[in-house]
């Protein structure tokens, strides 16, 4: 059985549409990112995500895909909450 844990939050004072900063942790049997940061630019046709240098060193292609799905889920939930509050 493979252990995977993801926890992330939007850094509210650094995030405004279409730019978002996400602080996250990601732990599996193979990799541990205790405090990673990602910058997300929500644009068509595909959002772009960049990571802080320390996180970038630790990521593998398979891990990156899972992390990016989690990060984009956070951003879209944050965006929908902002839209419903208008």
Q: Where are the domains of the chain?
A: 4-84
The predicted pLDDT at position 86 comes to 63
Residues 32-61: pLDDT tens digits? 999 999 999 999 899 999 999 999 988 877
% of the chain with per-residue pLDDT over 70: 98
For residue 1, CA distances in Å to 4, 24, 28, 29, 59 come to 10, 23, 11, 10, 21
Question: What pTM value is reported for the model?
Answer: 0.88
The predicted pLDDT at position 59 comes to 87
Which has the higher per-residue pLDDT, 21 or 65? 21
Tokens of 67: 């992390």
Report the mean per-residue pLDDT for the chain.
91
């Amino acid at each position: 059985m493979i252990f995977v844990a993801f926890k992330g939050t939007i850094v509210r004072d650094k995030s405004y549409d279409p730019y978002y900063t996400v602080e996250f942790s990601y732990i599996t049997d193979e990799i541990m990112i205790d405090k990673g940061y990602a910058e997300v630019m929500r644009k068509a046709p595909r959002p772009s995500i960049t990571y802080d240098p320390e996180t970038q060193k630790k990521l593998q292609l398979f891990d990156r895909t899972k992390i990016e799905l989690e990060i984009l889920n956070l951003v879209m939930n944050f965006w929908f909450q902002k839209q419903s509050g208008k």
